[in-house]
């Protein structure tokens, strides 16, 4: 396994304690591997135990869509790690519907709980420790779908757009405490979740193409996103807060 070192040959996150939600597959698992390679001690979570959790990471089963799951995760992080220096709020997803008005109230609430409030609730439990230590890094994982919100996943894109807005406001609040908050916004990435989304799209749109082509000519890989996260949680990004790094192969034009 490769290691990520600074100029002096020391793994750049040695001694850091990291918590990554949704780290059993896809982008989350890639983030866990990058943080482990860089020397961090990592705790991750999913709804149930999975053999795909990267070797070397601590794991706890917890449903972050619920308050009880968030409390379990925060308590376990304190017990296992002794505190959290790096928090990556990665969980997300939603079920597709035929249109915006077909999305029932309970699915709107589910989307908000998973894609927005899971991060809000977990942040609230871990920020006091970061403030006390006057250091810490939080990264929220959004989605480039917020730049082209379609009716099938409007509950998802609305929740992720709210997450980006929340991140900017939280960054402003925490900056005087030495705690940094940034967002990584992935474009179309080859993950199990991404494949499930494309299957739902095809089911509701017949032969409609849900993939398209990025200017760089390929879908993203989980490591493309993980490397952006690694940069943001490292000292190399020490003067970055309130930022949003969009990793989408140039798919969505930005002014």
Please state the φ and ψ torsions of residue 46, each to the nearest 5 degrees: -155, 175
- Cross-strand partners of 23: none
Residue (of 4, 63, 7, 54) closest to 29 by Cα position:
54
Q: Is 156 a catalytic residue?
A: yes
The half-sphere exposure of 23 on its side-chain side, counting CA atoms within 13 A, is 30
Q: Which of 97, 147, 156, 166 is catalytic?
A: 156
CA 208 to chain centre: 28
CA angle, 57 then 92 then 201, to 5°:
125
Q: Which residue is listed with tokens 């304190």?
A: 78
Give catalytic residue positions: 156
């Amino acid at each position: 396994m490769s290691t990520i070192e600074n100029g002096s040959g020391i793994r750049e996150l040695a001694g850091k304690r990291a918590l990554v939600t949704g780290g059993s597959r896809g982008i989350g698992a890639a983030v866990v591997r990058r943080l482990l390679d860089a020397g961090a001690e990592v705790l991750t979570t999913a709804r149930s135990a999975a053999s795909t959790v990267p070797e070397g990471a601590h794991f706890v089963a917890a449903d972050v869509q619920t308050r009880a799951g968030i409390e379990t995760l925060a308590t376990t992080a304190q017990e296992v790690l002794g505190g959290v220096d790096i928090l990556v709020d990665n969980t997300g997803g939603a079920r597709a519907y035929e249109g915006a008005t077909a999305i029932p109230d309970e699915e709107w609430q589910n989307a908000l709980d998973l894609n927005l409030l899971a991060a809000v609730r977990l942040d609230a439990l871990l920020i006091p420790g970061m403030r006390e230590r006057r250091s810490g890094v939080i990264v929220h994982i959004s989605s480039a779908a917020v730049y082209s919100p379609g009716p099938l996943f409007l509950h998802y894109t609305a929740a992720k757009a709210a997450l980006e807005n929340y991140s900017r406001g939280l960054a402003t609040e925490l900056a005087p405490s030495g705690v940094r908050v940034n967002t990584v916004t992935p474009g179309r990435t080859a993950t199990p979740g991404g494949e499930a989304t494309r299957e739902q799209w095809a089911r509701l749109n017949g032969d409609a193409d849900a993939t398209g082509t990025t200017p760089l000519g390929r879908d993203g890989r989980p490591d493309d996103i993980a490397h952006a996260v690694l940069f943001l949680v490292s000292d190399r990004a020490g003067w970055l807060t309130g930022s949003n790094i969009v990793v989408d192969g140039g798919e969505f034009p930005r002014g």
